[in-house]
């Protein structure tokens, strides 16, 4: 029974560790997404000004769309924007005229890549934290069952000496 208790305690500590890692990963993801979003939106705003009279480019770069709020929707829009932008030398040239060279655009795209990676890490850590909770709860259930059996047997064994049961604090 002491081994069960120790296992439950170890799983409790593991759960604490996993939730700490999840919180750190969530914070890192939020920071990465904010950095990527800020760089991306600067390019979107500039593109909306530069190509307001060129509807084909406007649509190609998704400048006509409202920005998605979910990370997956935002990521899809950002990927579409960067692939269209980096594949078209004429569009790149126009951005470059306004102090936004290819290197700046690629740096912004790398921030999007970093946000996607941080999201993947955060999802992994969330899964590990959930599993740690399930593992801990299963071990606590086993410990609870063992203790219930122990108390029931102790009650039977101490029928003639109830003061001994008081020592179990139950």
Task: List, for residues 8-44, the tens digit of each pLDDT value.
Answer: 899 989 999 999 999 999 999 999 999 999 999 999 9
Q: Is residue 157 part of a domain?
A: no
> In angstroms, rounded to a whole number, what is the distance separating the alpha carbons of residues 109 and 77?
12
Q: Is residue 93 part of a domain?
A: yes
Binned at pLDDT 50, 70 and 90, residue 162 comes out as confident
Residue 101 phi, psi (nearest 5) = -75, 170
Name the least confident of 71-80, 102-111, 156-165: 156-165
Mean of the per-residue pLDDT values for the chain?
A: 94
Torsion of CA 22, 28, 32, 33, to 10 degrees: 40
- At 170 the pLDDT is 55
Q: Is residue 19 part of a domain?
A: yes
Residue bearing the bigger pLDDT, 157 or 91: 91
Residue bearing the bigger pLDDT, 45 or 147: 45
- At 5 the pLDDT is 85
Q: Is residue 150 part of a domain?
A: no
pLDDT tens per residue, range 112-144: 999 999 999 999 999 999 999 999 999 999 999
- Domain of residue 76 covers 2-136
**3-state DSSP assignment of residue 61:** coil
| Number of domains making up the chain | 1
For residue 81, give both structure tokens: 């924007």
pLDDT exceeding 90 applies to what percent of the chain? 76
DSSP H stretches of helix in 69-101: 71-86, 89-97
Q: Is residue 147 part of a domain?
A: no
Q: Is 161's pLDDT higher than 90? A: no
pLDDT tens per residue, range 102-112: 999 999 999 99
Q: Is residue 148 part of a domain?
A: no
Residue 127's CB is within 10 A of a number of other CB atoms, namely 12
The position carrying tokens 């899809």 is: 76
- The most distant pair of C-alpha atoms in the chain lies apart, rounded to whole Å, by 96
Torsion of CA 86, 90, 91, 95, to 10 degrees: 100
Half-sphere exposure of 99 (CA within 13 A, CB side): 1
Cβ–Cβ < 8 Å for 51, 45: no
Q: Is residue 85 part of a domain?
A: yes
Q: Is residue 69 part of a domain?
A: yes
Q: Is 62's pLDDT higher than 60? A: yes
Question: Radius of gyration (Cα) for the chain, nearest Å?
Answer: 29
């Amino acid at each position: 029974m002491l081994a069960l208790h120790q296992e439950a305690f170890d799983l409790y500590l593991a759960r604490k560790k996993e939730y700490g890692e999840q919180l750190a990963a969530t914070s890192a993801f939020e920071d990465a997404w904010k950095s990527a979003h800020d760089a991306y939106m600067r390019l979107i705003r500039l593109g909306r000004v530069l190509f307001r009279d060129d509807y084909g480019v406007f649509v190609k770069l998704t400048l006509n769309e409202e920005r998605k709020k979910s990370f997956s929707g935002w990521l899809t829009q950002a990927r579409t924007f960067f692939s269209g932008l980096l594949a078209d030398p004429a569009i790149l040239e126009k951005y470059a005229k306004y102090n936004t060279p290819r290197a700046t655009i690629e740096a912004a795209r790398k921030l999007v890549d970093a946000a996607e990676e941080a999201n993947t890490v955060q999802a992994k850590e969330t899964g590990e934290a959930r599993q740690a909770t399930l593992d801990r709860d299963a071990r606590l259930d086993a410990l609870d069952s063992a203790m219930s059996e122990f108390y029931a047997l102790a009650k039977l064994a101490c029928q003639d000496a109830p003061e001994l049961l008081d020592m179990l604090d139950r």
